[in-house]
Amino acid sequence: MLTSLPTQTNWQTINLQETHPRRTLQWESDGLVDYTWCLINNLDFSKFGLKFTNVSIWQDQHPYCICNHVDNDRVKAAMQIYLSTGMSNTGTWFDTIEIPFELNTGYIMNNRNKMQHGMKHPVPLNQTRYSVYAQFDYV
């Protein structure tokens, strides 16, 4: 999947983030988002009390950086899987715990605790950060 991401052309802005250098890959039948949705939908998250509802593929470019924030109440739980390399310091911080941005790693976060999280460093110049972002409802 990673090798085909740079060749994708149908990236679009995200509602309420139009001024940020983050784009999401548009869903197409048999496209990468559809394929990713099918993969995640076949996994069982019920033991965590979660039901998969949505997936996006994100493209973050320089100088994307998101300050510490709490996700809104529509986000019951979220999972982000990192799909790029070479930008470990652009990962996600939860209080004093850093999840480095390393290929095929990431986190799943239950939003019941309203955890503050964000980035400490922006995406570097001439680099692109790709990730899968999945959302969940409670069972």
pTM assigned to the model: 0.92
Give the residue from 136, 130, 45 showing the smallest Cα distance to 81: 130
80-119 burial, b at 16+ Cβ within 10 Å, e below that, comes to: bbbbbeebeebbbeeeeeebebeeeebeebebeeeeebeb
pLDDT in tens, the chain (139 residues): 656 788 888 999 988 788 889 999 999 998 999 999 999 999 999 999 999 999 999 999 999 999 999 998 899 999 999 999 889 999 999 988 999 999 999 999 998 889 999 999 999 999 999 999 999 999 9
pLDDT of residue 40: 97
* Dihedral sign from CA coordinates of 114, 120, 123, 128: negative
Q: What CATH code would you report for 2-138?
A: 2.60.120.620
pLDDT of residue 113: 85
pLDDT of residue 126: 94
